[in-house]
């Protein structure tokens, strides 16, 4: 197991505007869903309907992600204020 032990420390995590990043990604997923929606019949005929549902799932999970990162940011601010 020592063969897989890291030989250097992990870098610090990148901090940025995470809420904006997740929101932007969520918007992209929903836009992709809406753009593909008029071609539902074509996707169904060619067995690619999963593309449409993947975009919808990405948008839905993005909404969950927005809620999560906003709660995380609020907790970090609370901790900094109280700490």
pLDDT of residue 1: 55
pTM of the model: 0.78
Does pLDDT of 37 surpass 90? yes
Q: Which residues contact 62 (CB under 8 A, 6 or more apart)?
A: 22, 23, 25, 26, 27, 29, 30
Instruction: List the structure tokens of 26.
Output: 């969520």
Does pLDDT of 2 surpass 70? no
Residue 47 zone, left/alpha/beta (φ > 0; ψ -120 to 50; rest): left
Out of 2-11, 37-46, 64-73, pick the least confident: 2-11
Q: Cα-Cα-Cα-Cα dihedral of 13, 19, 23, 24, to 10°?
A: -50
The pLDDT mean for the chain works out to 92
Does pLDDT of 29 surpass 90? yes
Residue percentage of the chain with pLDDT more than 90: 75
Count, residues in the chain: 83
- What value does the mean pLDDT take over residues 18-39? 96
């Amino acid at each position: 197991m020592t063969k897989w032990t890291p030989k250097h420390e992990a870098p610090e995590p990148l901090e940025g505007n995470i809420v904006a990043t997740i929101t932007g990604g969520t918007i992209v997923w929903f836009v992709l869903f809406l753009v593909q929606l008029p071609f539902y019949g074509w996707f169904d005929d060619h067995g690619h309907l999963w593309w449409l549902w993947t975009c919808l799932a990405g948008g839905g999970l993005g909404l969950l992600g927005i809620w999560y990162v906003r709660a995380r940011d609020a907790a970090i601010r609370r901790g900094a204020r109280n700490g």
